[in-house]
C-alpha cells in the first residue's frame, strides 16, 4: 500500500459531462502529481502541486484543471469530456519535489461513452 488514496476507482460518464477525481497524498507528502495513462500507453504528466501551489505543468488540456487544498488533498477536474479522455488517471505524491521518490495511487479509471 503506497499510502496514496484515489477516489473513485471507476467512473463512467457521457461525452460533454464534467467529473472530479480526488487524491489524498501520503501523510507528510507536500507534492501531488497527476498523470494520464491511455490504453497501452505510457504515463503522461499533467500537473504538479507543491504545498497548495502549482509547481509544474505538463500536457494538460485547457478543459482540465486541478487544485491542491490546505489539507493537501488534490482534485482533478475534467470538463467537456470527449471519448479520447477515457483513460486511467493516476495521482502520485512525494515529500518534496520530484527529486524525492514518487508514490502512486491505484488510479481512477474514467470511461467516457
Partner 1 sequence: KNQVEQSPQSLIILEGKNCTLQCNYTVSPFSNLRWYKQDTGRGPVSLTIMTFSENTKSNGRYTATLDADTKQSSLHITASQLSDSASYICVVSADRAAGNKLTFGGGTRVLVKP
Instruction: State the nearest-atom distance from the C-beta of 85 to partner 1, in Å.
Output: 18
Scanning the chain, the segments in alpha helix (DSSP H) are: none
Figure out which of the listed residues 3, 8, 16, 97 binds partner 1, where binding follows CB under 8 A.
97
Find the Cα–Cα–Cα–Cα dihedral 26, 28, 34, 40, rounded to 10°.
-40
Q: Which is nearer to partner 1, 73 or 79 (CB)?
A: 73
Whose Cβ is closer to partner 1: residue 79's or residue 98's?
A: 98
Contact call for residue 60 and partner 1 (CB under 8 A): no
β partners of residue 6:
23
Q: Is-contact 92 45, C-beta < 8 A?
A: no
**42 counts as binding partner 1 under rule CB under 8 A:** yes
Q: Do the beta carbons of residue 110 and residue 11 sit within 8 Å? A: yes
Positions that interact with partner 1 (CB under 8 A): 2, 4, 41-45, 56, 88, 90, 92, 97-99, 101-107, 109
Amino acid at each position: 500500500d503506497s499510502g496514496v488514496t484515489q477516489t473513485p476507482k471507476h467512473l463512467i460518464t457521457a461525452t460533454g459531462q464534467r467529473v472530479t477525481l480526488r487524491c489524498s497524498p501520503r501523510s507528510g507528502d507536500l507534492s501531488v502529481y497527476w498523470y494520464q495513462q491511455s490504453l497501452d500507453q505510457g504515463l503522461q504528466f499533467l500537473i504538479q502541486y507543491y504545498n497548495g501551489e502549482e509547481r509544474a505543468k505538463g500536457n494538460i488540456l485547457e478543459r482540465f484543471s486541478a487544485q491542491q487544498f490546505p489539507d493537501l488533498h488534490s482534485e482533478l477536474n475534467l470538463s467537456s469530456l470527449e471519448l479520447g479522455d477515457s483513460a486511467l488517471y493516476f495521482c502520485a505524491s512525494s515529500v518534496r519535489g520530484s527529486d524525492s521518490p514518487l508514490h502512486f495511487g491505484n488510479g481512477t479509471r474514467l470511461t467516457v461513452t
